[in-house]
Amino acid sequence: MLSTRLSNTQVTFPKDNLHVGGVEHRSVHNRYGLDYHQATADGLYRRGYQTHGPDGDRPFVLSRAFFPGTQRVGPIWTGDNFAKWDHLQMSVPMLLTISMAGLPFSGADVAGFFGNPEPELMVRWNQLAVFYPFFRGHAHLESPRREPYLFAEPYASHLRNAIRSRYALLPYMYTLFRHANITGVPLLRPLWYEFPDNKDTFDLDTQLMLGPSMLISPVMTPGATSIDVLLPRASRWYDANTGAEVERSSSWLSSGGDKQKVQVTLDSIPVYYRGGSVVPRRERPRRAANMMLDDPVTLVVALDANNQASGDLYLDDGHSFAFKRGEYLHRSFTFNGGQLQSTPAPTATNTPPGSLQLPTVTVERIVFMGLPKKGAFQAKLPSGQVVDLEFEPISVVAPRAASAHVMRKPDLPISQDWTVEIYPKQ
Amino acid sequence: MRLLSCAAPLGLVALWLVAASRSAAAVPRGVDPSQAALYSGPTFTCKDGSKTIPIERVNDGYCDCFLDGSDEPGTPACYSGYFWCQNLGFEPQLLSTSFVDDGVCDCCDGSDEALGKCRNTCLDRSASERQAVRDHVAFVRRALDEKQALISSAVQKQRAWQNRKGLISSEVSSQAAEVNKLQAQVKQAEATAEADRKRLAQEVEAQREAARAAEEARQQGGGQAADAEAAKQQQQQQQEQADAAQPPSQETETDEERGQRIASQWIKPPADGEEGAYEGEGLGEDGEGGHLDDDAYPYEDHDDELDDEDYHHHDDDDMAEPPLPEPPSAAEHAALEAQLQAALEKLEALQAEGLNIQRYHQGAANYDFGPNNVFLALAGRCIKDEGKRWIYEACFFDKAVQSEPHAPKNRVSLGSWHGFNSDYTQAYFTDGDPCPGDLPKRSLTVNLVCDDKEHMYGGEEPATCIYRTNLATPIACKEADLIKAEQDLQQLERHEAEIRSQIAAAEAARRDISKTEL
């Protein structure tokens, strides 16, 4: 009979225990994290067909142990960290590494598991963590309570704004999850993934990219009033909080490269849209993502050096496997020569084309960044109607959003092809 | 059952009257009718003044006043806006617009979702409040009946004391004599029993001595017979062991037996005299629940309360011989002891009665027993508030004491009777045991709370050496409470019918509006 007292220093089976077939335990020990995780998810997967009918129900099982292959099963997180600034800093390279190792659905306990984060750490961590694929606040049972609403002002407002911005970000993240599901590409990417020719990005672990279109430079030291941000010159960059394009003429650090010194305040961290992107958002944060399924979409169009941009949007019912038989919507948006077009996205190999009709979902707002600044613009809608682009905040949820060219309420149906044309106002 | 706060039902009535007076005017969806003026005219200005837009942009599903959401009160376009629910039958409510049209019925009249999605549950909510008022009326009626009973019992008490007044002192002295007599008898019986025990012990010892001598003699003479006996026993044991070692055949052994057999190779049964690890848990002798830590080890003694003398005595006797039987005179002694106890208790009771008569009957003028002497029901007895940490005991018209549940001898005086306040809602004991330094002498305030059952609760020390507790009693209930509760109930029931017809009218209007909007 095996020793049942786990008395060795590792508090686990001795490594030379033999399994069936004479296999030593050391050869299979690490697999256990995958097997256990998979068995649980499998049970929920089967149960989903009993409780939710022929389209089933997607399991959500979070694991701390993982192995190659875990990315097919469920999300993981980095485990018991501390409420300390250096652990906030560490979460960036940890998650980038995990993502590049093939596990895109990953995150870290926000504001640290052990300990008591000071309000500034809580705010800064949340502002970064809304970009984690797996975003969860979690703490030890005996640590002091730290629900966001228990913090005093101004921290509570900053936390509220950060969490609201997560809801607005969901359509973009969900689209990135679709790509991860089909091809395995990570959501969180180191800068060298997008800019492999830029040697300055090779050892950079204080910034990350969410998909190809957003760059996040978190503030990870207490009391910071400015941080250095690397913005590769291969792209145009737009401040996601204010909508302003980053000017290259002034304020480069003398050490050369593409680093900028950016002033920061407690209400936000530097986040940038990359020129050449069309990013879908839902600017109507509700109390749960489930309630947002019928809400209209905002498109953020950020132009590159050639005044072009592209992006896509993936939508489905969010909980079942109906997408496997084509119940999904995947649209491509391209801006070229002043025209913004919506077309069906190319179908991935071995998947059915998406045929989901969402008649209540429209595009309620299109934000343009990088248009030539002079003067006003007009847009011609598919109906032939001509409307002015108005000067409005780039986002309803961003705290310091400044005005940009916004197409107000075009009410373009998301499931159909359409083209709108932008030109300077005659 | 606790007394309900009376403010709620009246407030409900007030709101119903106000809500009824507001008509469903032609305001945009989600707008409080009192703000209708803001939403009339060809343009609309955001409430924070930041922008002016054409009136068509109000509730058009696009957020224009993005800081305060005031142009979209009826749609979820601005998450910072507020939606006004009329909630006929309950109370109007302001709801965050991010909850509008999200599939969840937030307003009790269901106006935050599309028509037909939600039921009007406002009257249901107020129905439970109406039921609460009904229960309250019944409760107050019951309490007042109890109070009446207490008043009549107070009258009877005085009459009884009147009758007993003459007899009580002679009864006390005769009972005291009886006690003395019994005490002497008990002493006598004790001496007799002790003497009998001694004699019995001597007899038994002599018998045992004789038996031992006989045994020695026999052993020296009859050794062979003893050996044969021993050998036979040993053979028997060996046979049993062989039987046990051979497992039962496969067919006859059940799974359970097999499991037990395998397990027995690994688990040793506890040796004789030890107890299993978890025996002795449960209510220990000290009266508290089992302490797993203490009782898990089989070698520790559970009887913490035995004092040393008994322990050693027990030990000696256990190891030696079985205890001797008690002589019959011991039983007589015990019986007399019991009689003495009973007599003592009766004496105490008579003495207490005598004291009560002296104080509260002959000296009634010294006390204020309240209107109709209703508080006489509390005289001559003590009421306890038994908390986990402290016990507060109030003997109205006498004294108050604080003690500890596990150490009843630790008592602290919280004062002697001081009196009531002017409307008989509080009673006071003052001049209790002193406190160190500048702290006042201990005192107790008792709040009198209307209830249909008497009980004391909530004893606390809000400031050092100043104590407070609550006495729930029918005595504290007033006629005026009942009248008020009955009036509230009548009003609520009268208006229910009115509100129902208003709700029906409002829903019909909503249906008409939505038809014209199509």
In angstroms, rounded to a whole number, what is the distance separating the alpha carbons of residues A324 and A305? 38
Contacts of A363 in chain B (CB under 8 A): none
pLDDT confidence of residue B362 = 84
CB contact under 8 A, B62 and A365: yes
Task: State the amino acid at position B333 in one-letter form.
Answer: H
Contacts of A166 in chain B (CB under 8 A): none
Contacts of B78 in chain A (CB under 8 A): 396
For tokens 């204080």, what's the residue? Answer: A206
B161-207 residue pLDDT tens: 888 888 888 999 999 999 999 999 999 999 999 999 899 889 888 98
A–B CB contacts, 8 A cutoff, strictly below? 36
What is the full per-residue pLDDT of chain A (426 aa) written as tens digits?
454 555 667 788 888 999 999 999 999 999 999 999 999 999 999 999 999 999 999 999 999 999 999 999 999 999 999 999 999 999 999 999 999 999 999 999 999 999 999 999 999 999 999 999 999 999 988 788 899 999 999 999 999 999 999 999 999 999 999 999 999 999 999 999 999 999 999 999 999 999 999 999 999 999 999 999 999 989 999 999 988 899 875 555 444 568 888 999 999 999 999 999 999 999 998 999 999 999 999 999 999 999 999 999 999 999 999 999 999 999 999 999 999 999 999 999 899 999 999 999 999 999 999 987 678 899 999 999 999 998 888 888 876 777 789 999 999 999 999 999 999 987
Here the ipTM equals 0.87
Contacts of A281 in chain B (CB under 8 A): none
Helix (H, G, I), strand (E, B) or coil at B327: coil
Indicate the residue of A285, A393, A409 with minimum beta-carbon distance to B79. A285
Q: Tell me what percent of the residues of chain B surpass a pLDDT of 70.
A: 77
Indicate the residue of A287, A295, A409 with minimum beta-carbon distance to B62. A409
Asked if residue B278 has pLDDT above 90, the reply is no
Residue B243 C-alpha, separation from nearest chain A C-alpha, in angstroms: 26
Indicate the residue of A284, A296, A409 with minimum beta-carbon distance to B79. A284
Residue B12 CB neighbours (<10 A): 20
Instruction: Give the best residue of B56, B57, B58, B63 to mutate against chain A (max A CB count within 10 A).
Output: B63
Asked if residue B323 has pLDDT above 80, the reply is no
Q: Name the residue among B66, B315, B101, B460 with its Cα closest to residue A398.
A: B66
Chain A contact for B266 (CB, 8 A cutoff): yes
Per-residue H/E/C for chain A? CCCCCCCCCCCCCCCCCEECCCEEHHHHHHHHHHHHHHHHHHHHHHHHHHHCHHHCCCCCCCECCCCCCHHHCCCEECCCCECCHHHHHHHHHHHHHHHHCCCCCEECEECCCECCCCHHHHHHHHHHHCCCCCCEECCCCCCCCCCHHHCCCCHHHHHHHHHHHHHHHHHHHHHHHHHHHHHCCCCEECHHHHCCCCHHHCCCCCCEEECCCEEECCCCCCCCCEEEEECCCCCCEEECCCCCECCCCCCECCCCCCEEEEECCCCCCCEEEECCEEEEECCCCCCCHHHHCCCCEEEEEECCCCCCEEEEEEECCCCCCHHHHCCCEEEEEEEECCEEEEEECCCCCCCCCCCCCCCCCEEEEEEEECCCCCCCEEEECCCCCEEECEEEECCCCCCCCCEEEEEEEEEEECCCCEEEEEEECC
Chain A contact for B12 (CB, 8 A cutoff): no
pLDDT confidence of residue B254 = 78
Domains of chain A (ranges; CATH) run: 1-74 (no CATH), 189-274 (2.60.40.1180), 277-424 (2.60.40.1180)
Average pLDDT in the B6-11 region? 44
CA-nearest residue to B67 within chain A is A396
CA-nearest residue to B69 within chain A is A396
Q: Which residues pair with A416 in a beta bridge?
A: none
CB contact under 8 A, B76 and A295: yes
The burial of B452, by beta-carbon neighbours within 10 Å (0-12 exposed, 13-18 middle, 19 or more buried), is given as: buried
CB contact under 8 A, A287 and B79: no
Indicate the residue of B62, B98, B102 with minimum beta-carbon distance to A364. B62
CA-nearest residue to B101 within chain A is A291
| Token pair recorded at residue A379 | 């847009």
Contacts of B98 in chain A (CB under 8 A): 284-287
Indicate the residue of B61, B66, B99 with minimum beta-carbon distance to A396. B66
Residue B266 C-alpha, separation from nearest chain A C-alpha, in angstroms: 10
Contacts of A397 in chain B (CB under 8 A): 79
A interface with B, Cβ–Cβ below 8 Å: 1, 164, 283-287, 291, 295-296, 364-365, 393, 396-397, 408-409
Helix (H, G, I), strand (E, B) or coil at B285: coil
In angstroms, rounded to a whole number, what is the distance separating the alpha carbons of residues A97 and A92? 9
In angstroms, rounded to a whole number, what is the distance separating the alpha carbons of residues B517 and A97? 56
DSSP B67: T
Q: What angle do CA B380, B381, B385 make, to 5 degrees?
A: 150
B219-258 residue pLDDT tens: 876 555 556 666 666 666 666 665 555 544 545 677 778 8
pLDDT confidence of residue B316 = 47
In angstroms, rounded to a whole number, what is the distance separating the alpha carbons of residues B309 and A419? 102
- Confidence at B314, pLDDT banded by 50, 70, 90: very low
Cis previous bond, A154, omega within 30: yes
| pTM metric for this prediction | 0.63
Q: Name the residue among A216, A264, A233, A273 with its Cα closest to residue A95.
A: A216
Asked if residue B375 has pLDDT above 70, the reply is yes
For tokens 């038989």, what's the residue? Answer: A325
CA-nearest residue to B78 within chain A is A284
In angstroms, rounded to a whole number, what is the distance separating the alpha carbons of residues B68 and B64? 9
In angstroms, rounded to a whole number, what is the distance separating the alpha carbons of residues A242 and A158? 16
**Helix A119-129 crosses helix A85-100 at what angle (to 10 degrees)?**
10
For tokens 């003429």, what's the residue? Answer: A249
DSSP B35: G
Helix (H, G, I), strand (E, B) or coil at B443: strand
Helix (H, G, I), strand (E, B) or coil at B417: strand
Chain A contact for B299 (CB, 8 A cutoff): no
Residue A285 C-alpha, separation from nearest chain B C-alpha, in angstroms: 7
B168 Cβ neighbours under 8 A, 6+ residues apart: B350, B353, B354, B357
Q: Which of residues 53-82 of B touch A (CB under 8 A)?
A: 60-63, 66, 76-79
pLDDT confidence of residue A18 = 94
Indicate the residue of B60, B77, B103 with minimum beta-carbon distance to A284. B77
- Confidence at B511, pLDDT banded by 50, 70, 90: confident
Instruction: Give the best residue of A1, A157, A281, A286 to mutate against chain B (max B CB count within 10 A).
Output: A286
